[in-house]
Amino acid sequence: MTELELKYGCNPNQKPARIFMDRGALPLKVLNGRPGYINFLDALNAWQLVRELKAATGLPAAASFKHVSPAGAAVAKSLSDTERQMYFVGELELSPIASAYVRARGADRLCSYGDWAALSDVCDEATARYLALEVSDGVIAPGYTAKALEILKTKRKGGYNVVEMDPGYVPKPIEHKDVFGITFEQGRNHLAIREELLENIVTRNTALPEDAKRDMLLALITLKYTQSNSVCYVKDGMTIGVGAGQQSRIHCTRLAGQKADNWWLRQHPKVLSLPFVEGIRRPDRDNAIDVYLSEEAGDLLNNGAWKGTFLLCPEGLSTEQKREWIGQLSGVTLGSDAFFPFGDNVERAHKSGVAYIAQPGGSIRDDHVIATCDKHGIVMAFTGVRLFHH
């Protein structure tokens, strides 16, 4: 048996703590830092996501995890000038795997604060340089270049967590966990999410372009490693809103939709031109943008709370301006880890530009859900597969 002793479990009072294998060596190495219990839960869930996403799309993939659910996930794609500005990249040179992580973190920068990063490919210098700029707890990847490792070892006063994962590791087909001293056993969720799952299109509109297929795969693979109930909005090869762990399906759809709306609002010219004071920290800038887009923005701007953040008090976005800008969002794909019980989920998704939906189907009200899609010209595929993750 091989094991790695941990400082403590989920909380400091939960000792002892360790990760171990009954047989054989652990399929990972800690190259720097001292990852904790929650760090490893994030790392191993995130690694599975990016590994499967790379296998399904053939593209380098990255994820940004917090509390055992993805804040964002993405595949590699060149960034536009607007994306470089909104993700605070500047003129930094980006490799494909670096662009994937920038986009994964950019999905929800507020929630990615202190994240665990996962990379499908070897971490290179460009990715390490970007990670060095952000507040992050650690990273897992199948390998690191010498320069990347050198950079990462200087982060967090030398304590940044760097984990190398064996890309050839295959886990046992049966998994276990204990709850209240009782052991649960189940077969691993080895379902391969491929395009064949998208063939059962049940709406009148059946036009499903290749980009939408890719985004459906991204949504479904993300959901496979998101705490249920969960809904995921995707656009251009990246998640733009993940709603995790909600008891009601509509609340998942609203939460993820609100995040998607905020992602889009961050591209509004007024947001991109906010007059930040020179030298403001990246997290403070993220927080300021979130407040600026919130319902409380007017009060905060009027009472002088902006001082120390902006050079001068910026003009806020009105409700009508927000509504008009969000109305321009289009071509969004939505995935759900279980069936939609009512058409209200489709109505909410439509408000955030959703044009494509992938969900299991199987509700007694499937006809109503399909009719709601048809009303808005949305393409919907029934995958026949539930993706609960607990």
**Total residue length of the chain:** 390
Q: What are phi and psi of 313, to 5 degrees?
A: -65, 115
Among all chains, which residue has been given the structure tokens 């500005």?
85
Does residue 66 have an active-site annotation?
yes
Does residue 29 have an active-site annotation?
no
Does residue 176 have an active-site annotation?
no
59-355-46-67 Cα dihedral, nearest 10 degrees: 160
Residues 6+ apart with CB under 8 A from 179: none
Catalytic residue of the set 32, 45, 161, 229: 229
Residues 6+ apart with CB under 8 A from 52: 192, 193, 221, 224
- DSSP label at 180? T
| Cα angle: 35, vertex 69, 369; to 5 degrees | 170
Does residue 389 have an active-site annotation?
no
Catalytic residue of the set 157, 176, 190, 390: 390
Asked if residues 20 and 2 have their Cβ atoms less than 8 Å apart, the reply is yes
30, β-bridge pairs: 163
Tokens of 134: 């952000």
Instruction: Report the alpha-carbon distance of residue 248 to residue 1 in Å, rounded.
Output: 42
Catalytic residue of the set 67, 153, 322, 351: 67
According to DSSP H, which parts of 87-169 are helical?
Answer: 96-106, 125-133, 146-152
Catalytic residue of the set 54, 66, 224, 268: 66
Catalytic residues: 66-67, 229, 390
